[in-house]
Amino acid sequence: MLFSAACERNKDSILAVLQAWLPPGAQVLEVGSGSGQHAVFFARSIPRLAWQTSELSANLTGLGERIALEGSSGLAPGSQIPRPIALDVSAPGDWPHQRFDAVFSANTTHIMPASSVPDLLAGAAGVLASGGLLMLYGPFCDHGIPTAASNVDFDLHLRSLDPAMGVRDAGVISEQARGLGLSPVADVAMPANNRTLIFRRNS
């Protein structure tokens, strides 16, 4: 199965944020579920959690293998992980036709092209219930100012691989989110110079 060392390192700190912010019995859409390790860990840790995984269609096979093998046993009481769905954030027709209490995405905004980040925000706004939360985990800068030397190096590395990638600006994301009816409500410092940006969908 696919394995992400980063998921193993950050799962506990992200879990603490989810436990502090998610409502009881939350239905969550994860954008860019990768190996599926987060989905399994969170559903085994939080009761009555419905965690819908998603990935680009080309990456669904690896994700589906983990969910099939680990997604139905050892879960917290009342929790479930439905079958993964294909989701390209820039394809409006891919977004589910249902409402979620939260949309979560880890380490995706710096991998997708900068032009796709507003599509992620718009898609999340479209599927969130009133008062629902968008939670973005990863490295960010602030109005063009790096928050850590390691993030500068990481940004340079990403852009050397693909000029469309790069560490995104939390200030720019927040302004884009406001224009879509998503109000910034928290900016949680995380280990290894990462952050979780949290937005709430307006009524």
Query: Quick one: tokens of 117?
Result: 């980040």
**pLDDT higher than 90, residue 64:** yes
Supply the pLDDT for residue 66.
96
The alpha-carbon radius of gyration of the chain (Å, integer) is 16
How far from the centroid of its chain's Cα atoms is residue 68's Cα? 21
pLDDT at 144 over 90: no
Q: What CATH number labels 5-108+116-138+169-201?
A: 3.40.50.150
Q: Phi and psi of 108, rounded to 5°?
A: -115, -35
What is the average per-residue pLDDT within 61-71? 96
Residue 29, class by beta-carbon neighbours within 10 Å (0-12 exposed, 13-18 middle, 19+ buried)?
buried
Return the HEC string of the chain. CCCCHHHHHHHHHHHHHHHHHCCCCCEEEECCCCCCHHHHHHHHHCCCCEEECEECHHHHHHHHHHHHHHCCCCCCCCCECCCCEECCCCCHHHCCCCCEEEEEEECCCCCCCHHHHHHHHHHHHHHEEEEEEEEEEECEEECCECCCHHHHHHHHHHHHHCCCCCCEEHHHHHHHHHCCCEEEEEEEEEHHHEEEEEEEECC
Q: How far apart are the first and last CA of the chain?
A: 41
pLDDT at 5 over 90: yes
The 10s digit of each residue's pLDDT in 6-24 is 999 999 999 999 999 999 9
pLDDT computed for residue 146 by the predictor: 83
Summary mean pLDDT of the chain: 96
- Can you give the pLDDT at residue 43? 98
pLDDT of residue 28: 98
Is residue 31 a contact partner of residue 105, using CB atoms and an 8 Å limit?
Answer: yes
* Residue 107 pLDDT level (bands cut at 50, 70, 90): very high
* pLDDT of 108 higher than 90: yes
Q: Are the CB atoms for 197 and 140 separated by under 8 Å?
A: yes
In which band, very low, low, confident or very high, does the pLDDT at 147 lie, cut at 50, 70 and 90? confident
Residue 143: predicted pLDDT? 84
- What does pTM read for this prediction? 0.96
